[in-house]
Structure 1
């Protein structure tokens, strides 16, 4: 069958240059995603000092709980909405048609975030939140589309590594976000390093400090804009064209343009294959029978993972202050505080975040998705508890040890469920529902991120009056938060058992796309495909 010829050729295709090109094109979207989502953590304290420092007070201002939750969480709300909408649209219109929309929205919204305006603090924060919602909406679309496109281009032997490599660009986005913040804050800090400013760093806020956070946020448009043309030139994935559009001939032509394979598809077969089987919908009993538990597993594990992962990432600055790695706000000027927070972020990214992503790339097609996810949840649980129970020891006597173990939680998040929860939904569902199911799974993750972001902030505020006035969480509040996060990771281990292993299987085999309905034997999954 012409359709099977196309699918077999994709599974057997040798790793070649276009695979790496596709990784870069899709990966730069995730680079931008991570930069935009996590760079806000570097400038949140600066926003508080610029817009909420009272001129008659000697203490630096901080964002009140409401604005702080909005600034940190509104992009996540937009991301959740974008994942659901663009995931569905990617299955309806095709991956290629929707892919450029998400990138354009990210570029425009990144620039607009830096141009946020208003005659008061409330006005500026409100417009910033508005633009960051739409930024998140574009970012949300990138999740299901990038994962689906990469999975449908890849051969089965290295598919996991290719999808993981796309997601690993997120680590570089976090890293570059910190580096850009360091460069910008250093330039502006030195420009106003005057005796008066050094004597009264809190009240002598540089007149151009407002530029710092704007430049940092606007830089997120640069990497996205660089890949816009490349995305526009990408052909539709052959699997979508063959299985959803049912045009095997066009799929063969598209694939031949970018991959070094030769295919001949009969024009007469272009729309006739598998037209009668596997047409069940997302809300059908047949989908529930075949993939209901799988979807529950991908949603639950991503939800639980993101509670821990995003709360830790977005509030790194509070954790660093709590363990006294960063000095109190009153001991440094506003711009230097950006530098210190960003420097801490870069160190954690270099030691834990980035290596974890690339360990997944290296080992996922060897160890498998299930093992890596289970291992990651296990060690995140261990390290969260190890940080929580002797918390006062780490805080008062061994700050370095705390930071090492904290970095290890990020390492095993990324050499673990943070990567696998992104990869697996792009592999285990049928082609016509793949983007939608990935979007639903990712949206469940962002719901967890919202819970983590808002919940962590709430926990940090439920302290003594003196601790609230200091602007950071310490003591029993932080300890309890870490215990809760450890328990969440443990539950994530349990839900991992609902997710099937996709290592070494074709997409059609793992999604059972070649099966007839109601228990018939597979029509074509029994074919043997030798790895290249």
Structure 2
């Protein structure tokens, strides 16, 4: 940051928490509630359609033939991952537009896409349309990442910035709980052909509640002043928080070419993108494909022999199966809020490193106590099965009290104002790429390597994540955004002379 132009945002950086900070948190956070709900509910939808045919003989026209037919692996993989691939598109597009047009001009568009996609998914006449509608929804999910994170970071005070951004993200924990509750209750009380549509459609409501609020949020004071040079708009945005800015003349962030941005922030982009990629490999891999560890402990909810169950019995078994699938996310729930509580005290970098390190230790320990038989199947553990499960479940706590939260927070703080949503969007897209690849590859890897060797592989990549964090990620706590990003501030007259 130029020494001759200290940050004009000290009044809002030093504010105490206000009601409007909380209002922005809710407005931004409800999108992430919906994001988590919609990304997790698809597993319950798939299980409902497939298991209904397998165990109750129920055929759903336009869906069952795809998901249990000769090309079932392709259609299952595509439906499970299409929202992830679409999220990558949304993260990159909205990340660019958020810097090019401003945060406000695109804020609310992503929530609208989320709402439309989720609502139409519930009305899908067949699997092809369900895939199309989930793609629309996925673009909205992706767009939510860079815009909501950046709006929260640019409005937050320095002391509570990490907490506030993490609180936006922690709505994912609540969305995960909601997905589990809706999935289980729907499976118990509704016929399967209606249950999956209810699961899909409910995801439209939380996002719909914040569309209007998002359209009313003023442009952030930082983008208004440093990108647009609009002092009055910046003062209006600051007054929204009950603060002000310390300038009466336009102050701009120095424009940089793409080559200058890459030269100055290229290594930082490695530090925010690659650990997020690694994190989502572990998060989605151990979350979606944890049944080899959970099944030996809790048992299979369905009978081993092929039989057609009465509908009421099937519904009970399906609800239990959905509960088992939700167990890893339920265990990780406190980790989000532990991160919220400690992020501004311990720092982002420390929490991310310890999270990756503990993940690696736990994966290695679980692998070491695991007994596998032929075909890489888990036949038991060297310690009581319940203790093995608790140890394995602990990894989800450190995922959330670690890189799952910090990889979202850090990119919203470290980049300059003209590249902030773009940098966050690229980093988030890297994470979703890891998630999408995992969704496709892990079933094959489970068959060829087995869960024991997969855990060792995840331990290795977790260590790599910790090392990348140590070398490429700066600590951002108790620093203004301009200080963290080394923002160069100039006046329009200075710019004209250059």
TM-score normalised according to structure 1 size: 0.82
Report the 3-state secondary structure (helix = DSSP H, G, I; strand = E; otherwise coil) of the residue aligned with 1:430.
coil
Report the 3-state secondary structure (helix = DSSP H, G, I; strand = E; otherwise coil) of the residue aligned with 2:242.
coil
Distance in structure 1 (CA, Å) of the matches to 2:416 and 2:120? 38
Structure 1 unmatched runs, 5+: 119-123, 189-207, 463-475, 517-532
Is it true that 1:509 corresponds to 2:483 in the alignment?
Answer: yes
Is it true that 1:305 corresponds to 2:279 in the alignment?
Answer: yes
1:67 aligned partner: 75
2:493 aligned partner: none
Is it true that 1:260 corresponds to 2:260 in the alignment?
Answer: no
2:86 aligned partner: 78
1:388 aligned partner: 367
2:403 aligned partner: 417
Distance in structure 1 (CA, Å) of the matches to 2:363 and 2:122? 35
CA contact (8 A) 1:27 1:167 kept: yes
Q: How many residues align?
A: 466
2:461 aligned partner: 488
Q: Once the 2 structures are TM-superposed, how far is the Cα of residue 5 of structure 1 from its aligned partner?
A: 6.9
Q: Once the 2 structures are TM-superposed, how far is the Cα of residue 53 of structure 1 from its aligned partner?
A: 7.5
1:135 aligned partner: 137
1:15 to 14, 17, 21: 17
Distance in structure 1 (CA, Å) of the matches to 2:288 and 2:52? 20
1:470 aligned partner: none
1:440 aligned partner: 426
Deviations 1:267-286 (A, max 9, x none): xx23xx34xx62113x21x2
Distance in structure 2 (CA, Å) of the matches to 1:47 and 1:317? 19
Is it true that 1:359 corresponds to 2:361 in the alignment?
Answer: no
1:240 to 211, 214, 223: 223
Q: Once the 2 structures are TM-superposed, how far is the Cα of residue 6 of structure 1 from its aligned partner?
A: 4.4
Structure 2 unmatched runs, 5+: 60-66, 373-377, 491-498
Is it true that 1:224 corresponds to 2:207 in the alignment?
Answer: yes
Please give the residue correspondences for 1:199-348 in structure 2 after superposition, counting only pairs within 5 Å. Answer: 208-256=191-239, 258-262=240-244, 266=248, 269-270=249-250, 273-274=251-252, 278-281=254-257, 283-284=258-259, 286-317=260-291, 319-321=293-295, 324-328=298-302, 330=304, 334-348=314-328
Deviations 1:359-387 (A, max 9, x none): 10000111111100000000111111112
Q: Once the 2 structures are TM-superposed, how far is the Cα of residue 399 of structure 1 from its aligned partner?
A: 3.0
Q: Once the 2 structures are TM-superposed, how far is the Cα of residue 261 of structure 1 from its aligned partner?
A: 2.1
Distance in structure 2 (CA, Å) of the matches to 1:335 and 1:288? 54
Q: Once the 2 structures are TM-superposed, how far is the Cα of residue 459 of structure 1 from its aligned partner?
A: 1.9
1:375 aligned partner: 354
Report the 3-state secondary structure (helix = DSSP H, G, I; strand = E; otherwise coil) of the residue aligned with 1:412.
helix
TM-score normalised according to structure 2 size: 0.87
CA contact (8 A) 1:30 1:170 kept: yes
C-alpha change, 1:399 and 1:430, in structure 2 (3 Å) is: same
Report the 3-state secondary structure (helix = DSSP H, G, I; strand = E; otherwise coil) of the residue aligned with 2:185.
helix
CA contact (8 A) 2:363 2:458 kept: yes
RMSD: 2.6
Q: Once the 2 structures are TM-superposed, how far is the Cα of residue 54 of structure 1 from its aligned partner?
A: 10
Q: Once the 2 structures are TM-superposed, how far is the Cα of residue 2 of structure 1 from its aligned partner?
A: 13
1:192 aligned partner: none
Deviations 1:291-350 (A, max 9, x none): 111001111100111111112223345653365543345577553343113323454433
